[in-house]
Amino acid sequence: MAMAADEAKDKKRVAVTTLGCKVNQYESAAFISGLAESAGVEIVPFSAAAEVYVINTCAVTAKAGAQSRQLIRRAAKNPGARLVVTGCYAQVAAEEIGRLTDRPLTIVGNCCKERVVEAVMRGPAAAGASYLGEIGACNRVAPLTITRFEQRTRAVLKVQDGCSQGCSYCIVPLSRGPSRSVDPERVLAQAEIFVAQGFREVVLTGIHLGHYGLDLASALSLAQLLKLLLARRFPLRYRISSLEPSEIGPELLELLAWQESLLPHLHIPLQSGDDRILQAMNRPYRSADFAGVIRRCLAALPDAAIGVDVLAGFPGEDETAFRNTYELLADLPISYLHVFPYSRRPGTRAADLPQQVSGRIKDERTARLRLLDRQKRQEFYRRQLGSVRQVLVEGGAESRGLLRGFSENYIPVLLDAPAALINQIVPVRLAKIRGEAVWAVPLDKREAGHAG
């Protein structure tokens, strides 16, 4: 016991924290995997005392940038600590980060994220180093592999990075660079690792997922990548993260409709339901196009969950434009909304547009859309009551004795069942709405077979 305590004492204590999207989550999990496999490293919570703090930052909104600065300052308060800062805020605000603290600091840009582990392990020799690269010319995805994904039943698998679309409000092309894809063999190898670790569900993610494969020599599409995964017959179910409206074509919908391993859940950004605002945003569709996509999705997948991103208060959005957005969303049979107030980002075209909307009006419109979100969720749940769903049980709920999980069509479910079902896919009947989730009753094999 004394020897084990001495070994732990001698290890370098490293803490990792993450802001932002699923792509960042994947990358941080890869950092933790690499560090955990390095000799002499102990991974500790970000709230604990550590010798090195790794902060994977976000810059998509002004609030995310402020949170990134806050975490850097918080880590810098630890005596003797060294900081490794990476992610989108590190990419676009390296000089500002350097002024935040006198602590030894290493900055790693998004094109060079495989060097995070190296920066940690180099020790003080890495202090003051900057691995930013030329993000605008980046033509590869940083090679990052997860060999362990602690305490999760659903894994995130990054297959794409960057965006070349150029929406006028978005800082992502400046922070992530152009669209580029992970080689399919690397995708398959990572999926195989997740299977070996016992995962039951994988979320395929990227910054502009629908552009997967356009830069590869083989010109593979996302649908073709899914077919490669399905051909391996891994015991996994696959969930797709955000796709642009124009990227949901017949081939993908047919796959989703006929392959049980592909889950009926789509997340489709709208951003505005007003055609004038969509044009100012440089979005490549109009409101009628979006409505048509939603209806085609539901014709192919009647029980699918369809989530929608929407921005409130883009420059020039008057009450008429906002009402067009609200009424479009209210009329469509979507399942939920992700609502964001427009955030003015330096370096984007929208930052210099006239008719910037006041904070008060943005807050009011955001609140109205979030109320609509709650109504849409409740309506979707009510339509699903009585149906049989396959729920991946993810752990214990806050309510004593209950388990929680998500159905294949992304309904949050509570059920009274033994803990042995955690990380199992369980057939249930949706019984009643309980707050922000749905109470479900597990079915035995006979009931499940009869329902099927």
Separation between Cα atoms, residue 61 and residue 414, nearest integer Å? 33
Report how far residue 127's alpha carbon sits from residue 119's, in angstroms, rounded to the nearest whole number.
8
Quote the CA–CA distance of 47 and 17 in Å, as a whole number: 10
DSSP letter assigned to residue 358: P
| Longest pairwise C-alpha distance within the chain | 71
Measured distance between the N- and C-terminal CA atoms of the chain, rounded to whole angstroms: 54
Query: Which structure tokens are listed for 232?
Result: 């391996």
Full set of structural domains in the chain with CATH: 10-137 (3.40.50.12160), 260-384 (3.30.750.200), 388-451 (2.40.50.140)
Tell which residue, 268, 265, 221, 222, has the closest CA to residue 243: 268
What is this structure's pTM? 0.92
What is the pairing mode between strands 201-205 and 154-158? parallel
Q: Minimal CA–CA distance to 56: which of 80, 95, 26?
A: 26
**In tens digits, what is the pLDDT along the chain, a chain of 452 residues?**
443 444 456 689 999 999 999 999 999 999 999 998 887 899 999 999 999 999 999 999 999 999 999 999 999 999 889 999 999 999 999 999 999 998 889 999 999 999 999 999 987 767 777 888 899 999 999 999 998 776 678 999 999 999 999 999 999 999 999 999 999 999 999 999 999 999 999 999 999 999 999 999 888 999 999 999 999 999 999 999 999 999 999 999 999 999 999 999 999 999 999 999 999 999 999 999 999 999 999 999 999 999 999 999 999 999 999 999 999 999 999 999 999 999 999 999 999 999 999 999 999 999 999 999 999 999 999 999 999 999 999 988 766 679 999 999 999 999 999 999 999 999 999 999 998 999 999 997 656 555 65
User: How far is it, in rounded angstroms, from Cα 53 to Cα 76?
Assistant: 9
